[in-house]
Structure formats: C-alpha cells, structure tokens
Structure 1
Amino acid sequence: MYNRPISLFILLIVVLCLSSCFFPPIDRDKIPGGPKIGIVEVKGIIDDSKEILKNIKRFAGDKDIKGILIRVDSPGGTVGPTQEIYSEIRKVSKKKKVYVSIGNVAASGGYYIASAGERIFANPGSITGSIGVIMQTVNVEQLIKLLKVDVQTIKSGKFKDTGTPFKGLTEEEREMLYGVTRDIHEQFIENVARARGLSVDKVREIADGRIMTGRAAKELGLVDEIGSIEDAVEALWKDTGMTGEPKTMYPKKTPRSFVRELLESMSDDVEDRLGLKKRGFSFWFLSPYNTEIE
C-alpha cells in the first residue's frame, strides 16, 4: 500500500535526472560581441546585494558595454543591501553612464537605488517615492500570559532584548529605536539630495513616506523623464555616442541543468508558502504599497 507512492517518487527522480542528460543547461547569454547596453534588474524585496553588485561590476568592466541601465521594480528592502547598491551605482557612474528605468514600482529602497542613476525614466503611473524608514516587531506578551508560558531572559545589557516579541517596548527602548530610525532616515534624505542635485530641505519636505506617481515625481525633481524601458535604452544608446538600433544584454547567468532549475523553483515556492522570506526584526526601506492594474 505504501510502496507504490514511494516507487512513483523514485521513478520521478530518475526521470528528472535522466532528462538533465538530454536537455542541455540553460544559457541565457548568446548575444554576439559589439557595443551594447547592459541591463541589470532590481526586482522584488531587496534583502541581498551580492548578485546585483556582481552584475553591475561585470558590466562596468566590459568594454563592449557602453552604458548600464538599472531596471527597478521593487518596493524596497533592507537598509544595508540598498545602500551598497546605491553606492556601487554612484561609483560606476564616474566611469560609465548609468541610467535607471522604473517599472511598476520603485518605492522606498527601490527609489533609493534609482536616485543614484544619472537619468531616471518612469512611466506616468509608476509608483515611487516613499522616502522613509520602517521597523516593526510583534508583541505576543499577552498571548504568552494567556498560555501560561514563562519566558526566561538573561541579557548582558538593558537594550539587548529590545524588540523581542515576548514583551512590549519600554519608553527608553522606544526612544532608542526612534533615534536609529531618524539617523537612517537622514542618510536616505541626504543621499537622495546629493544624487539628484536637490537641497536637503526640499527632499525632507516630501520624505514622510508618501508614495507618488511617476508624473508627480517628475514635477518634484525625483524623476527626469516620463518614458518606458525602451525610451531609456534608446536615450542611453544615443547619449553614449552610438547610432542605429540599440543592442541590449542581460547579465550572463551560470548555466544550469533542467533539474536544478526545477528544484530551485520548488524550493523558492516552499519558502514563500512557509513564510521563510518574510521580514524579521530589522530596519527597512520598504513601502507597504503594491499596485497592479487588472
């Protein structure tokens, strides 16, 4: 009774392994040499900068890549990776032109990254802005009491368990966290002002977490042009001195077998379902909004 499902599972694994022998690894980079525009995508929640930094550096060192376009479609993410990507774009911009194209959303950390580009293109209805910092923690203290569970804490200092879900914040802890939030927020404001050539006071006026459309952002000086990714590519191609039809290139990914592609996809789906990718106790450049037109 139980042997049949096990046998079917083993058979499936064998078939997948054999299929990898007949299906070659997927190689997404088969574009011939010559001048091109390199496109680096920043998609989804920003919780790691490694892959994006690697792609930017790779294009920066490629003589055939005449300019780099950062395509942002992200509501933001964690502070550290966001600042690392911002800094790398600013650094590379001194050697090569780096433009930005905003897709559906480039809010909070997404806009932080976008602001580093020399020119920013956005659709009129793109959602952007949300210049702010957020930190959230759950307090289950009352639930713990209801369940009659006793949580024991041993700590080296009075702030060491700040943010634990097992107790509420003290006024002193709350003020400490506000101080950290204000500092990170000020860094956000200063970097946007520096990159966009705006005064700190002007950016601070709209740095209250509000979101806005691409059209409104252009009026405020946060975006340069209203246009699609194709418009951004054409402008960058022309501004780098190229003529004719623009040629683009996405980062080369390490060739992977059919089986590995399938297994990684299954793994990502499981993580999403179990909530393993959800944010924990940390400071975020993150917009709570997501918009879709149906």
Structure 2
Amino acid sequence: MSLDADAIVDRRRLKRQLIGWRLTAIVAFAALAYAGIATYTDLAPSNLAGDGDHVATMEIGGLILDDQDRLEALDDVAKSKSAKALIVRIDSPGGTAVGGETLYYALRNVASSKPVVALIRTIGTSGGYMTALAADRIYARETSLTGSIGVILQTAEMSGLLEKIGVKAETLASGPLKGQPSTTEPMTAEARDATQNLIDDTHQWFVKLVTDRRKLTADEVQLASDGRLFTGRQALEAKLIDELGGMADARRWLKTNHGVAGNLPMFDVDIKVSNKGLLSRLLSSSGKTLLSERLTLDGLLTLWQPAGLF
C-alpha cells in the first residue's frame, strides 16, 4: 500500500509539472507571436517594395478614423523615390470628420509628388468619398454607391426611460451649453441651434472641398451636397467621379497621362503598426459588426449609416 501511495504522489507531482511546462510554453508562444506580428511590417514587405520601381496601393476599408499609423505610411509613400504612383482602393461608408480630414490631407501630400488614383468599389460614401476627392483621378463601378456628402451627429435622449425605472439624473454645469447635447435631459432650443451650427460649419468645409476638387458650379454642388446617394453611373453624370472602371483603367490612365509603365509591379503600402496601434486593431477586429464599430465613434461623423441598422 505504501508503494501505491508513493506512486500516486509521484504521478500527481509529474502531472503538475507537465501542466506548468505547458502553460509556460503557451505564454512563450503567445509572446513570440505578438512580437512577430508587431514587427512583421518592418521586415519583408517594406524591403520588397524598396527593391525597384513600383505602383503603391492602399486599402481604405471600413470606418475611417484618425489613424496615425496610416498617416505615417502615406508620408513614407510621398517620400519614396521607387513608388511612382499610388492607387487607393476605397470600400468605406465614411467615419469621423477628423479621420476623413487627416486622411484627405495625407493623400494630397502624396499627390504633390506623384499621381494618386482612387477606385471606389462597393461603397465610397461621405468620408469615403472625401478620401476619393484627394485623388487626381476617381473611378467607380456602375453600381458602386458614393456621394452622401454631409455631416451627422446623433444623440439619444433617455430622461423618460430613466424616470420610468426610478433614476433621476442631475447635472451641474458652468453654462447652459456645457455638456450639450445630453442623454439625460431634453435638448433646449439654444443647445439645438449651437449643435446645428457645428454641423453646418463642417458641412460647408466639406462642400468647399467638393466644389474646389471637382470644379462644380453652384447648381451642381447644391445637387451633390444634400446628402443623397449616387450610383457610379449617376456620380459620373453629376461630375463626382471621372470615369467608370477599375484597376486596369487606373493603370492605363497612369501610363497614358503620367508615363507610369503598365508592367510595374504593385505593392500594398506597408503600415508599420505600433504596439498600441496593434492592440487596438486586434480588439476592434474581434467584433467587427456595424453595431460594435458604431460604438467606437465620437464627435462629428461624415458617415452614411442606414438608420434602420441601429
């Protein structure tokens, strides 16, 4: 019996050690994987793109936020001597106004040294269309959705609901417009006017971009800037895009108008993700639904969002 008891004790000790080694291996593997992902963009892709002349490409998809990693990557493209052009593939309903603004100016910086082409695929609306405006040439498919030129700010007023469940919210503020609009009290006329002024001011800035970049008349820009959607065919008629087509058409235009050889290879822009940026991207990608992405937004939005989805 003593030998059996000793064997059982030894077996349990070995089992605990095995579990400990397994946990150590898992933690080590996770750390190595994280380090590998964090440094991946510092390795082969950037070296490959630097081996010779090429056409840079970048995907702008999903919600457009103020992405510092992407802005730095675009600055690298602007400075690159081997990148002879940039083709931006857009599939985005828009995002925050600041996100769209910073991306627009980063692309214009690239365009100051080399041609930039925008390809609107399934959707390029609101801030997505603002992105396209930065290009020297805009393409879309016949059934692409674009336009929705405008600004939106939404808030929920829940004082009635709170009252029903026995919650009374009180707010102390330094002025009548501080903390407005609020979810805990009805919006006053003064607060509504002040908020609308914010929206109108940003909308006027957006419309001026459209007017200047697309060379539209007053009547043409009035039609384009009321928030409506356009198909690619309608956008061509409204002068919001230059041509119906895709990648092959973009390459042909670059060759004809800028002498960019049609046989140059294309490389995706290397976005060097910081550790902080990587973590936020991993967290955001873990639940990519319209609702979860919606909850990450704050401030003024240049975004097309079908109201029935929220």
Q: Is the structural similarity TM-score above 0.5?
A: yes
Deviation at 1:101, TM superposition (A): 1.0
**Structure 2 equivalent of residue 288 of structure 1:** 305
TM (norm. structure 2) is 0.79
* Residue matched to 2:63: 45
Tell me what 1:205 maps to.
Answer: 223
Q: Distance in 2 between matches of 1:89 and 1:136?
A: 29
Q: Equivalent residue for 1:121?
A: 139
**d(CA) in 2 for partners of 1:23 and 1:129?**
36
- Alignment size in residue pairs: 283
Q: Is the 8 A contact 2:56 2:77 kept in 1?
A: yes
Supply the distance in 2 between the matched residues of 1:227 and 1:277 (Cα, whole angstroms): 31
CA contact (8 A) 1:40 1:56 kept: no
> After the TM superposition, which of the residue ranges 84-93 and 208-217 deviates more from structure 2?
84-93
What does the per-residue CA deviation read over 1:65-97, in whole Å, with 9 as the maximum and x for residues that have no partner? 111122211100111121122223234323321
RMSD: 3.2
Q: Distance in 1 between matches of 2:225 and 2:234?
A: 14
Q: CA deviation at 1:265?
A: 6.9
User: What SS is found at the alignment partner of 1:152?
Assistant: coil
Partners of 2:271 and 2:297 lie apart in 1 by 30
Query: 2:116 maps to which residue?
Result: 98
Instruction: Provide the rounded CA distance (Å) in 2 between the counterparts of 1:58 and 1:243.
Output: 21
Give 3-state SS (helix, strand or coil) of 2:65's partner: coil
- 1:248 matched to 2:266: yes
- Residue in 2 that maps onto 1:13: 27
Matches of 2:38 and 2:178, distance apart in 1:
52
Q: Which has the larger helix fraction? A: 2
Distance of 2:121 and 2:201 partners within structure 1:
29
- Structure 2: give runs of 5+ residues left out of the alignment: 1-15
8 Å CA contact 1:234, 1:246 repeated in 2: no
Contact 1:67-1:96 within 8 A present in 2 as well: yes
Deviation at 1:173, TM superposition (A): 1.0
Task: Name the structure 1 match of 2:6.
Answer: none
| 2:284 aligned residue | 268
Deviation of the 1:99 alpha carbon: 1.3
CA deviation map 1:121-167 (0-9, x unaligned): 11111110001111100111111111211222111111002122111
C-alpha contact (below 8 Å) 1:73/1:103 kept by paired residues: yes
Q: Aligned to 2:63, what secondary structure does the other structure show?
A: coil
Output the TM-score relative to the length of structure 1.
0.83
Contact 1:49 1:82 in 2 (8 A): no
Q: Structure 1 residue 107: deviation in Å?
A: 0.0
The alignment status of 1:161 with 2:179, answered yes or no, reads yes
Greater length-normalized contact order (CA 8 Å, ≥ 6 residues apart): 1
Q: Percent identity?
A: 28
Once the 2 structures are TM-superposed, how far is the Cα of residue 180 of structure 1 from its aligned partner?
1.6
| Alpha-carbon separation, structure 2, partners of 1:240 and 1:281 | 40
Measured in 2, the distance between the counterparts of 1:48 and 1:19 equals 27
- Deviates most, 224-233 or 234-243: 234-243
